[in-house]
Each structure stands twice: as structure tokens, then as C-alpha cells.
Structure 1
Amino acid sequence: MNLLGASIFLLAILLFSTFLNWYVFQAVKTLSQGISIEKYKNAVHIVYWLIFGGISAWYVYTFIKIFITGEFTLSTQTLLNVFLTVVVTQLVCVVFLFTEDLFRNIQAGVIYLSNGAQNFVFPGRKLWVSLLAVIVAMIPFFSFVYGMAFGKHNFKVHKETIYFEDLPEAFDGFTITQISDIHIGSFKNPDHVQKGIDLAIGQESDLFVFTGDLVNHRADEMDPFIGQFSKIKSPYGQFSIIGNHDYGDYISWPNKEAKENNFKEFLSQHEKIGFRLLRNEHVRIEKEGQYLVLLGVENWGVGFGARGDLEKALEGTSTDEFKILLSHDPSHWDEEVKKMKNMVHLTLSGHTHGMQFGIETPIIRWSPVQYRYPNWAGLASFNGRYLYVNRGFGFHAFSGRVGIWPEITVIELRKK
């Protein structure tokens, strides 16, 4: 980001944060009216602005550090955690206050028309509305606290059975375990990682696949965890692809050679953990003399680069073969895969993380990421072609998960 863009971004952050602080302060003022001693009331107001004004200043200072260094550190990670927690909490509070303000203005208009300007008094805020706003705002606040402490390790197994008319008979009932977006640099406790690995191993699937973003930025993030991930085995092998974070594009390197050496080391990490990395190529999985084609492409995503070459990966395959594609970004399926004449039956992706925040219930399914990706989690289909988007094993930027839990996927292939 250039200097002008960074300046505009920082100004926007400061103005947005100040606006939220001011609006929530209206609830604080209303609630503090019950304090009879004026100096205590003022003390509450001063403490509020010291805390939230200080947080806003910290936002700006830390974002400046990010722009200068070009990478995320522990302090910037903490900032993002606090930023999301505070902003979402404040926005919930503001929704109540803003709604009340709409009614107050309507009420004021009615009073003015009825009584005239001479006896006009603008309606004040109601204590119960401010109290309700603060109480309801505590729900996202404690949800984010839970998500940072426990939610990011709350692994869930999602199982899907998909039926295909042209699935080779030998693969009827064939199972695939998928994980995606490990982002191993975000993990600090090996026990938390092991919990997810044990769940993946425990599915005892025929085939294991990993769909990109092994690291956050650097290959050496994986070094402490090689022994753990090398325990993942399946009868028909372990295959992986490259995600957008794996290229090291999002941090500053001292020179081009350093970045290239990091990528070479990243490639070797897949060998060390026993994953066969597919780079715009395919392999045939054989069972009882029949085959399915497993394709893997480098990252291809709208807004995240198009290194992937599906045409190259398909070279040497025929249109009547059953094909499964590993492609990190689900926008690849939307933009290219589902429209191809050489049919790819099933695409396995990740990338979105479900934004690590949202609601998934039998009735409501929502995440802010849906405004960027039409297919952001779970199963989608188009003309007999399927896409499954894994919610991610790890976490990045925001070191937590709220409502969108880390996922181990198990796909069962069945013949119609």
C-alpha cells in the first residue's frame, strides 16, 4: 500500500473508531445519570475515554507498524483480536442507540408540530434502552473472548455423502479426509494441533488431501510440527496443494533470493511430512483395476493471483474419466472449473475460513465472508459438478473462531 493509501486507511480507522466511541458514550452518559455525586459521574466518563481513546490510538500506532514492517507480529495479532472484539461489540450497542434515535427524532417532530417551538423539548434517551444495548452487546463480547480462548481449537468433523452416476464401481463407498488452511504459524501449543490431527487420523479414510495454506508466511513455521503431521497416513496416499499464503507474498523480504529460498524450503516441508504436492498436475488413484483422477493446481483465486493452470493439470486425461480437483480458492470453481467441457466431478477447496466468524444453525447460516464468496463453506453443486469448501483447520489474523469452528471434512463417494 502506498503512502496516500495508508494515510487514508489510517484516517478512516481513526474516524470510524472515534464515531463508535462517541456513540457508545451516549449509553454510558445515560446509565451514569443514576450517580448522584457529580465527581464520580465525571470519573466514569473520564475512565471511559481513557480506555477507548487509548485503544483507538493503539489501533493507529500498530497499523503504522504493520505498514512499515510489512508483517504480522504478536503485537499486531493482539491488535486485530482487540479491534474485532471491540468494534463488533460497539456496533451491536450502536444498533440499539441508533434505532432509539430514529424514534426520538420522529417523536420530536410530532411534539414540535403539536406544541410549536416555544415549548419544544427534545426527548431524552431512555435508561432501559441504553441498559438493554449494553447487555446485548455483551453477547458478542464474551463470544469473541470464548472464540480466542477455546473456539479456535473446537474442531468439528463434517461428513458429506455425494452420489455420482459415473463413479467407477470400485470407488463406491470410497472416503476422503480433507483439511485446509492449517496456518501453522498461528499455533503456539502443539497439543491443540494434535487434537485436530487425531481427529483427521481417526476418520480412517481411504485418501487424505490438504488444500493449501500450510503456513502464514515462512516455511520454518512448520519446523516444530513436522513430527505431528507426518503421522497422517491413508491407504491411497496423502496429497496437497499450494495456497495463496504459501508463496510468502504478504511480508517483506530482504531480497528476491531470500524469498525464493523460503519457497524452496516450503516445498521440502511437504516431503518431510509425507504429503505429495501437486503443482498443476494429476495422479491416478487405482482400486481393483479401476481409476479416478486426482488433480491439483497451484493457487488460483479472484484477487489472489492465478498461478494455477487447470488445462496443464488435465493434460493426458480423457473426458470420460472421473476427476477430483484440489484447488485452494473456491472462486476458481465459480469462474472456471464448473464451466469446463472436460468435466471435473468434485472440487475440494478452502481459503475462506468462513471468516472465522458467523452463525451456523439449522435455521440461520451467515458469515460476513458470504458477501465476498458465494460458496464459502460446505457443499455446492452446478449441473452435476460439486464443490466442497472446508472451513479451515487453523486461523489467521484474528486468532479465534466464533460460530465457524475449525473443520475436518470426510467425503464419501457413492454411485447412484
Structure 2
Amino acid sequence: MKRKLSLLPILIITLLFFALNAYVLSGLQTLNGSAYLNPVFWIFIVGLTFALFYAIQQMRIQGMNRFFQIVSHTFLIVFAAETVFAIFLLFGDLYRLVLALNSVFQPEGFHWVARSNYWVDFAFVMFCVTIALFAYGITQGKYAYRVIKHTLYFEDLPENFDGFTLTQISDVHAGSFTNPKAVQKGIDMINAQKSDLFVFTGDLVNNASSEIIPYIGHFSQIKAPFGQFSVLGNHDYGDYVKWPSEPAKAQNLQQLKDYHKKLGFRLLLDEHVELVKGGEKIILAGIENWGIGFGERGDLDKALQNTAAGDFKILLSHDPSHWDARVKNYPSKIQLSLAGHTHGMQFGIEAFGLKWSPVKYRYKHWAGIKTENGRYLNVNRGFGFLGFSGRIGIWPEITVIELKRK
């Protein structure tokens, strides 16, 4: 039976949105008392709201399209900027309330203090800064690739692998790209690292294998002396779109696996390979996606079959929740795990000693290096983007890790 759509949550959200706008308008009227401000403001807000509802309906019929992206991103920018404006305006109004309550005990009695233009001006400046940040994130930030380097020390690293380097990227999401030249700059940065090994930790596409076709020529340029290896992510299985049939979905997945070969990537599907240098070896294992809430397909036991407890192991596993659930306490020590998946939510702050993103409330460790139980995990912030066509504060990442022997 088709589930009925509840209108109550939609009605509540709509009322809250219009209450926010009424409050924002009261602040704008402090700055500009023009008679045209009120009608122009509400025509824009109501028009944008109806455009969003229409875009959502069209997306359900036609799938993701340019109109939906433009309207949804405009709505997001306006909502974020208004929220920031309202927060700073509220601070000023709370201060006015404190002064008003204090006036009760004064000889002249209770009275409101007019809004300070200086405080409203500051709120408006923050409103403009928010719009500028989102504009940068959408136009430039999503391709502002960063190389992040780590040096990790291991007592059990084979001597001949002392100084061995690997480059990791994750979450390409090729279907979201719109600027091949910008993507090429990222590819050039990857090759410029001249690492011994290249690994990709899943989510090559958003849904359909065909999304990678325009970029096969780009990613096939990536080369490393010890090879290029990859695993699948949750989006690679096509679980988030409706297929004509199960065979069509299976064919899409098989085609994606074939595209990994065209890229020159050795796709590891619950298996491992031995990397040999100077007569010594390390194990590179990769599993199918295993993530709490995103499908627990991967078989770690199978991937490490016929390996020894004393082998030095590197594991490619898309979702970092796998590390917490199984890997960090796995009986056979896995010295280094490489994951992605979180994107750092493409929004946050990593500056001045601060590291914060809303994704921290979903994942205990969402970016960078974590160590526990004598084992390391690196979570790559992602090479591409999904949903929000931009990045603010959490930039696309190319990770370079150097292995050193203690």
C-alpha cells in the first residue's frame, strides 16, 4: 500500500521558514525603510518557495536536473544567510530585552530601547559574508584540491618498505562534475606526488556507471610503480535509483567494474594482493562496501584469507564505521586502514586549531588520521562532491601517506 504523505511536518516547516523571514525582514527594515522593501522581499521569498516545490516535483518525475540544482542551491544560500542574519539580530534583541527589563526598576519605568544600527549593520555584514562563502564554495571550493601529507611510524613495517609512499583519493562522484579542466588539475596534482602506490577508496559514481565515461581519459592518466587499486563504495551499487529490473541493475554494476579496468584500477572485491619489494612483502586488501546503515556487503575474513597474523596489512574499506565495528579489534592486526565516505559533509571549519563539521554527529572519526589499539585509520575528505554542489571549509583531498619504520 502506498504510504500517504503527511502534510503536518511540511506545514510546520513552512510556517517556521516564513516566521524566520518575517524576523529577517524586521531587521532589514531597520536598515532600509523603503516602502518597496516589504512587497519586493515577500514576492522573492514566496516565488522561491513555490519554485522549490515545483522543482522537487519535477525531480521526482525527471530525475536530477539543472533547474532543481539552481533553485535548491539558491534556496539553501538564502536560508543559510538569513539564519546567520537572524542569529546576530537575535543577540542584539536579547540585549534590548535585558535593558527593557532593567528599566522596570528605573524612575521612568518600562520602555524598549531602539535597535542599534551598528548591531544590525554587523548582522547584515555576516549575511553578506555567508552568501560570499556559499558562492565561493559552489564556484571554486568544490575543485580547490588540497594535498594532505602524513608520515606514519610502524615497528613491524618490513625494512625494504621504509619510506614507501601511497596516494589515496576517495568519493569521486563523477556524475557531479561539470568542469573537466578543473578535474584535470586534480589529476595532475595526484601524479605530481610520484607515490609508489595509488589507491581509490570507493564511490566512483553517484548512481549510474555511465557517469564516469566523460572522465575515463582523466583518471586513466594516474600511474604508480606498484599499481593502482580500488574498491567499491555504497553509491557504486546503484541502490539509490529505480532500475527497470534487477538484471539492469546488475548490468550497471558489472559495467562499472569494467570501467575500473579501463581506468587502470585493479578492483579488489574481498581479496588481497601482495606488494613485493626487495624480497619482502606487504598485504594490500580491499573489501566491498561495509557500512552501518549503508549495506554490510564486505567480507573481511575472505579478503584476508591465507594471510599471516604477522603480515603487514593495508586495508581499503570505503566506510569508516567498518573500522570501529570490526577492523580495529580484528584478531589479525591490520596496521593501516584507508576509508572515505563522509566527505566531511563538504561543510565545516578546519582552521586556527578548530576541526568541526556537522558530520561529527554521525561519525566518531570523519576526516584525517586516527590511531587506536596500535592501528591507524585515515579518512579521506573526498575528491568530488554530492548533493550540495560545493565545498565550504572542507576542501577536496588528495592524501599522501609515507610509511616509516620505527
Given the superposition, is the C-alpha separation of residues 324 and 184 from structure 1 closer, same or farther in structure 2, using an over 3 Å criterion? same
User: 1:31: how far off?
Assistant: 1.3
- Which of 38, 47, 50 matches 1:57? 50
The residue correspondences of 1:139-154 to structure 2 (distance < 5 A) are: 139-154=129-144
Contact 1:280-1:297 within 8 A present in 2 as well: yes
Give the corresponding residue for 1:219. Answer: 209
The residue correspondences of 1:2-401 to structure 2 (distance < 5 A) are: 3-4=3-4, 7=7, 10-33=10-33, 41-66=34-59, 68-69=60-61, 71-112=63-104, 114=106, 120-401=110-391
Q: Deviations over 1:240-261 (max 9, x none)?
A: 0001111111122222222222
Q: Distance in 1 between matches of 2:16 and 2:289?
A: 34
Given the superposition, is the C-alpha separation of residues 260 and 9 from structure 1 closer, same or farther in structure 2, using an over 3 Å criterion? farther
Contact 1:71-1:250 within 8 A present in 2 as well: no
Q: Deviations over 1:260-311 (max 9, x none)?
A: 2211111111011110111111111111111111111111112212112212
Q: Which segment is superposed worse, 126-135 or 150-159?
A: 126-135
Given the superposition, is the C-alpha separation of residues 362 and 101 from structure 1 closer, same or farther in structure 2, using an over 3 Å criterion? closer
Aligned partner letter, 1:74: R
User: 1:220: how far off?
Assistant: 0.5
Q: Deviations over 1:49-99 (max 9, x none)?
A: 111222222233323444x34843222322342233222211111111222
Aligned partner letter, 2:385: F
Given the superposition, is the C-alpha separation of residues 366 and 76 from structure 1 closer, same or farther in structure 2, using an over 3 Å criterion? same
Given the superposition, is the C-alpha separation of residues 384 and 80 from structure 1 closer, same or farther in structure 2, using an over 3 Å criterion? farther
Give the corresponding residue for 1:405. Answer: 395
| Equivalenced residues, count | 405
Three-state SS of the structure 1 residue aligned to 2:36 is helix
User: 1:131: how far off?
Assistant: 1.5
Aligned partner letter, 1:32: N
Aligned partner letter, 1:103: Y
Q: Deviations over 1:3-56 (max 9, x none)?
A: 5567456445423432321221121121123xxxxxxx2211111111122222
Q: Distance in 1 between matches of 2:295 and 2:107?
A: 64
Contact 2:48-2:71 within 8 A present in 1 as well: no
Three-state SS of the structure 2 residue aligned to 1:130 is helix
Given the superposition, is the C-alpha separation of residues 107 and 362 from structure 1 closer, same or farther in structure 2, using an over 3 Å criterion? closer
Question: TM-score, length-normalised on structure 2?
Answer: 0.94
Aligned partner letter, 1:62: A
Across the aligned residues of Structure 1 and Structure 2, the Cα RMSD in angstroms comes to: 1.9
Question: TM-score, length-normalised on structure 1?
Answer: 0.92
Contact 2:101-2:110 within 8 A present in 1 as well: no
Q: Distance in 2 between matches of 1:12 and 1:63?
A: 18
Unaligned runs of 5+ in 1: 34-40
Contact 1:240-1:278 within 8 A present in 2 as well: yes
User: 1:114: how far off?
Assistant: 4.5
Aligned partner letter, 1:19: A
Three-state SS of the structure 2 residue aligned to 1:42 is coil
| Percent of aligned positions that are identical | 49
Q: Distance in 2 between matches of 1:410 and 1:178?
A: 6
Three-state SS of the structure 1 residue aligned to 2:32 is helix
Q: Distance in 2 between matches of 1:321 and 1:197?
A: 32
